[in-house]
Amino acid sequence: MHPEYQYLNLLQDILENGAIKHEYNTGIEEKSVFGRQIRFDLSQGFPLLTTKKVFTRGIIVELLWFLQGNSNIKYLVDNNVHIWDEWAFRIFTDAKNGKWYGKERPLTEEEKSIQDQAVFIQKIKEDDAFAKEWGDILTVYGRMWRKWPGKDHTIDQIAWVIEKLKKSPDRRHAVVSAWNPDFIYEMASKEHARPVPPFCHTMFHFNVLDGRLSCLLYQRSADMFLGVPFNIASYALLTSMVAQVTGYPPGEFIHVFGDTHIYSNHYEQVKEQLKREPRPFPKLVLNPAIQNIDAFTFDDINIEGYNPHPPIKGEVTVVGGF
């Protein structure tokens, strides 16, 4: 059976058996199950879902941004990827409404005049000083992966994991965590609090078995229609990149879900997707000359033979704190 049916069968399971819940800050309905797993053998193709077209360029650019340890959206904006725009604009809007997140100065008249997200993002693109102040959303995966704020130093978890995989492949502690309570809503220190959603993909674990490198991701909250296809491909790509720089062929990507849900504004889109037959997975080709995780560029990552069904549009369900 085509491995994509794991994802499609989970969609069907949620539609048929999911408990009805409602988003606490929007009231939107969702159907939800708890505790599921799917897995992909990366030697059998790159798990970029084919029953709808997935935004491949966005996946690659975002992952490279994470690997920089970057929390400022300017890199994404400059590369025409806008999946984090709304969170920077929300912080800016909160500041206009008096919530400063540790800042103490009043807005300038020019800042007060910015009412539209598109104008805000264009300002991020064109004005480096504005981008430095307003483009940094702080609570981002890459910062926790590469610059976890320790008591007296920052911690590069990715570099540590790669070193351990090279030197001690039989050990079981190659874990990266993004779940930092000091950056999450009411638990956060005043200077760290942001309305960005708490980390959905909270931790991942590399393991070497039979000479192959596998990765297990735990995702506490999974938007199955819009988010999860993106997450599958992103972590499969990360696994393959880490495998290359540590000298192992890639093994499996295992995806473990906590709250696994479909929002009501995606029900009809999911039903349409379930009518489609999966097509062969594409092939991931990485530049073999790259042996350092920080050396990868967009041009070093190629996905060949991707022939998906047409995209199915769905509105993003906006969640977040405060």
Residues that are catalytic: 200
Q: Where are the alpha helices (DSSP H) in 247-314?
A: 267-273
Ramachandran region, residue 215 (left: φ > 0; alpha: ψ -120 to 50; beta: rest): beta
Phi-psi category of residue 52: left, alpha or beta, with phi > 0 → left and psi -120 to 50 → alpha: beta
Strands (E), the chain: 19-22, 29-41, 148-149, 154-155, 174-177, 201-209, 212-223, 250-263, 283-286, 301-304
How far apart (Å, rounded) are the C-alpha atoms in residues 188 and 198? 11
Count the Cβ atoms, other than its own, within 10 Å of residue 96.
12
